[in-house]
Chain A
Amino acid sequence: EDKVVQSPLSLVVHEGDTVTLNCSYEVTNFRSLLWYKQEKKAPTFLFMLTSSGIEKKSGRLSSILDKKELFSILNITATQTGDSAVYLCAVGRSYNTDKLIFGTGTRLQVFP
C-alpha cells in the first residue's frame, strides 16, 4: 500500500531557530514530491521536486529529494512566527499523474 510518512508530527521552536521537516514515502511509480503549507485554510504550494539532489530554495525555505532513500526534507532557517502552520508532503504517481497521496503533516509552532 502506498504511504507517505512525515516526522515529527509536531514541533515547537523559538523565533530564529532552524527546523528540518522530514517526509518519507513508499509509493509505486513515483513521479514527484510536493510540499505545501497549510495555515487556517487550504494548503498553499511551496515546492515540487522530481529529481534527486537538486535543492529548491525560496527565501528561508529549501527542500531536497533523495529518490534512492525515498525521502525529502524541508528546511526553514531563521524561523518567524508567521512560519507557524502545518506542513504537508504529498507524492504524485506517474501512472495517474493527477492524484496526490498526502502525509499527515508536521505541525510547526514558532514562538517569539
Chain B
Amino acid sequence: GAVVSQHPSWVICKSGTSVKIECRSLDFQATTMFWYRQFPKQSLMLMATSNEGSKATYEQGVEKDKFLINHASLTLSTLTVTSAHPEDSSFYICSARAQTSGGAGTQYFGPGTRLTVL
C-alpha cells in the first residue's frame, strides 16, 4: 500500500518552455502533497506544500509564479515549471501524506522526475 507515482520519470526540454509533472497517490487519498527539489549530491529541499482544493504554500525563495502547483483532487497534484531555464534542471520529488495516517512525517515519496533544461 501507499504507492505514489510521478509522471514523467525524465524530461528534457528547451529553455523557455513549460513542463508539467504529475504526482498521484495510487491507493490512498492524500489531502496534502509536497514538492521537493534535489540538486546533485544535496538533500531534499521543500518547495511547496499542496493542499487539495486550496492554494499551495510556498517556501521562502520559491517563486510561485514560476512553479505552479495544482492539487485538484485527493489523488493528484501537478507541478508546472513555467518558462524553464537550465538552472531549473534538477530532480523533482513529490510526497503524499495519507489522509488517515497519524502524526507527522508519514509521507510516501514518488520515484521522482529528472528535469533537464537545455
Q: Interface on A for B, CB 8 Å cutoff?
A: 31-32, 34, 36, 41-45, 48, 50, 88, 90, 92-94, 97-100, 102-105, 107
Contact = CB atoms under 8 A, between A and B. Distances in A.
B8 interface: no
A90 B108 CA distance: 13
B104 A43 contact: no
B73 interface: no
Contacts of B93: 42-43
Interface residues of B, number: 22
8 tightest A-B CB contacts, nearest first:
A92-B104, A97-B104, A42-B109, A92-B105, A102-B43, A104-B43, A42-B112, A41-B111
Nearest to B2: A45
B105 A100 contact: yes
